[in-house]
Chains A and B, each alone.
Chain A
Amino acid sequence: MRHTISILLENEAGALSQVAGLFAARGYNIESLTVAPTEDDSMSRMTIVTRGSDSIIEQITKQLDKLVDVIKLTDLTEGVHIERELIMVKVNVSEAESEVKRLVDIFRGRIIDVGDGTYTIEMTGTGDKLDAFLKEIGSDLIVEVVRSGVLGIARGGDSLSM
């Protein structure tokens, strides 16, 4: 099953490679991994999307928790939570300008740059929504896609903080 794990870790050199190394060494999957400093710049917040049986996910969270640089973690999948991803897509619009504009409207994206026959579109949403948008645009028109990977946060008052 797909799990979204949120981690607070020390903003130290090597902390990211400890997490990445753990996944590699123990043969766990990473679908996506995002990391950036928090409002307290001594800490980073990481969101990992992984897949595995219940026992593997249990091992993943325990092994992550064991890393000395990991301060706290939570498996967001255990509760209700919100996930978002950001994409930026460069699209060839020389022959489909109005169609692309219409789709951007429907999917509530924004055109953030215009080039020589191209639009660059920004869009946030769940992975499903972004996949659907990309499918509608079609691979023939897509010049380039960059995805942020998943960010997650718990709904309601629950938080992962110190």
Chain B
Amino acid sequence: MANKAEMMTGADIFINSLLAEGIEHIFGYPGGVVLHIYDAMFKQNKLQHILARHEQGAVHAADGYARSTGKPGVALVTSGPGMTNAVTGIATAYLDSIPLVVITGQVPTALIGNDAFQEVDSVGISRPCTKHNFLVKDVKDLATTIKKAFYIATTGRPGPVVIDIPKDVTADRAIFDYPESITMRSYEPITVGDMGQIKQAAEMILGAKRPIIYTGGGIISGNSSQYLTELTKLLNYPVTQTLMGLGTYPATDRQFIGMLGMHGTYEANMAMHECDVLIAIGARFDDRITGELEKFCPYAKIVHMDIDPASISKNVKVDIPVIGSVEHTLQDLTKIIKEGDKRPDSDAISTWWKQIEEWRAKNCLNYDRDSELIKPQAVLEKLYELTEGDAFVATDVGQHQMFTAQFYKFDQPRRLITSGGLGTMGFGLPAAVGIQMAHPGETVVCVTGEGSIQMCIQELSTCKQFDLPIKIINLNNRYLGMVRQWQELFYDRRYSHTYMEALPDFMKLADSYGHVGIKVEKPADVEAALKEGLALKDRLVFMDFIIDQGEMVYPMVAAGKGHHEMLSREGELA
């Protein structure tokens, strides 16, 4: 890193600021207005640049990097189309509260507002999908702005921050003096929850007869898996998680009753419906979780612990809110419970568990294991078995994503990398790029479908350039499966534009990008193919599983229904 108080160009200040932040990888794509920055990048070797093949891919890769490490992801794109291509990636990170710093080049300050070549109002476009954004008009403000961006992105409820830097600012010179720390009078996230509220929460939690713990991505952002596990064990209460929360409590543990919500388990959703105390931690009562709000948890008092005050009582009125980082709140809560005299009502809890076990015995995730066609569930079960539950699994969006959540048992946080909030098809492969860059030597899998994979297929080229041995599991049903599922259930099987005709030959495609392709058409070949693919440690392997076209994701809470009104293959579950 450069010496402090040295005069340098904005481009060098930019590089040195990132290095001062401890950034080692930056995902990006060059263009006219970021040429000075790319030139400065060329002259150094500490910051590694990963060239994506599309700006959306660059931002998703930075996102996968951030999700799998807990460190902020950094992406760099040019102005105009570079910026607009990045928007999907930025919005994806925003909806899932992922810390990203995205630097967009801008036309020179003198041209701003003139409809210059490759000019867009980046600050205006990104405003609704960033936690905050900046336009740097003076090179003297550059280092401080970068410091602020990382501070805002990584603290409180994390999120993406955009810094728009005009080209002239990267050429202008200033003294480089990166601030060690920063305080902002307008931004001071609350970290420690109110002790009085936590005591009230403890009281309500311990008084429960039919409790359930419901947790989300906040446990990951707050690095609080161990505290969640400790509290859950201490209480012997059932725990359910959102898609974003999977892995923060071991899925193989008895107290884990599966994911909840639209494609959650019967036992989790019934327990939600019947519970008398709902303990929500780092979750935001999204509509895919709650189902019909009027039917949501009708008997429950609700405790909600979250770092974001605006998440409290946004969709569902809560009885006891605790605002603060879940890391602090969970530790304080556990301490209060341990030190107090009151214990959970073990008789009531044991009766409650009996009820939950009855629901669990329905085996709601069961599927036809004797089918002559490959079932996507079987592929995922086998993948789980062969990777011993230890892979990083990125997904795209659709049926395969839900099957992954249901059938790959995540015992560790930051292993399932998926676009939950925005539901971005095309996320999986570039996210896997970021994950593999952060975790060389680890098994990184991208579970996808033939619809999603084609949305960012160009990143296969990035994988070749950087020798990323990602394992792609393409669950190929020749349909946009999730949309087709809704058409089948709610549109009288009018499969409007969901059949994928003219698919590429994925074997040839993989080959042309310099990768290995394996096509699997029979259930009997699934295991051998997976073994073969996973064994090729230094190659990207594109495994194309030709699966049952008609398979659907069950169980399901349809739109307008409550948690207790789930559908299974055989009809309504009860």
Contact = CB atoms under 8 A, between A and B. Distances in A.
B322 to A, nearest CB: 15
Interface in B289-344: 308-310, 312-314, 317
Contacts of A71: 185-186
Interface string A51-67: 00001001100110110
Nearest to B189: A66
A69 B186 contact: yes
A18 B184 CA distance: 17
A68 B310 contact: no
Contacts of A55: 313, 317
B124 A17 contact: yes
Nearest to A59: B314
Q: Number of contact residues on B: which range applies?
A: 20 to 34
Contacts of A62: 309-310, 312
B127 A59 contact: no
B182 to A, nearest CB: 12
A68 B127 contact: no
A66 B310 contact: yes
A106 interface: no
Nearest to A14: B123
Nearest to A9: B186
B309 A70 contact: no
B135 interface: yes
Contacts of B123: 14
Contacts of A13: 135
B569 interface: no
B187 A58 contact: no
A47 B518 CA distance: 63
Nearest to A22: B128
A25 interface: yes
Interface in B78-132: 123-124, 127-128, 131-132
A117 B314 CA distance: 55
B152 interface: yes
User: Is chain B's binding surface mostly helix, strand, loop or mixed?
Assistant: mixed
A17 to B, nearest CB: 7
Given A14-B135, A59-B314, A66-B310, A162 B185 contact: yes
A59 B311 CA distance: 9
Interface string B164-200: 0000000000000000000011110000000000000
Nearest to A65: B309
Interface in A85-141: none
A75 to B, nearest CB: 14
Nearest to B131: A68
Contacts of B309: 62, 65-66
Nearest to B124: A17
Contacts of B131: 68
Q: Number of contact residues on A: which range applies?
A: 20 to 34
A100 B132 CA distance: 51
A37 interface: no
Contact of B313 (A21, A58, A66, A69): A58
B313 to A, nearest CB: 7
B366 to A, nearest CB: 41
Contacts of A162: 185
Contacts of B317: 55
Contact of B310 (A9, A25, A63, A69): A63
A157 B317 CA distance: 34
A21 B127 contact: yes
Contacts of A70: 186
Contacts of A66: 308-310
A21 B131 CA distance: 13
A66 B131 CA distance: 9
B152 A68 contact: yes
A63 B314 CA distance: 10
Nearest to A55: B313
B130 to A, nearest CB: 10
A132 B123 CA distance: 43
Contacts of A59: 310, 314
Nearest to B161: A68
Nearest to B148: A68
Contact of B184 (A25, A63, A68): A68
Contacts of A10: 186
Interface in A6-47: 9-10, 13-14, 17-18, 21, 25
A17 B128 CA distance: 10
Contacts of A18: 127
B313 A68 contact: no
B128 A25 contact: yes
Nearest to B137: A13
A13 B121 CA distance: 13
A43 B310 CA distance: 24
Contacts of A58: 313
Contacts of B312: 62
B128 A68 contact: no
Nearest to A13: B135
Contacts of B128: 21, 25
Contacts of B124: 17
Nearest to A21: B127
Nearest to A66: B310
Contacts of B308: 66
A68 B185 contact: no
| Closest 7 pairs (CB-CB, A-B) | A62-B310, A68-B132, A71-B186, A68-B187, A25-B128, A62-B309, A66-B310
21 contacts: A10-B186, A13-B135, A14-B123, A14-B133, A17-B124, A25-B128, A58-B313, A59-B310, A59-B314, A62-B309, A62-B312, A63-B310, A65-B309, A66-B309, A68-B184, A68-B186, A69-B132, A69-B186, A71-B185, A71-B186, A162-B185
Given A62-B312, A66-B308, 4 more contacts: A10-B186, A55-B317, A59-B310, A68-B131
Interface of B: 123-124, 127-128, 131-133, 135, 152, 184-187, 308-310, 312-314, 317
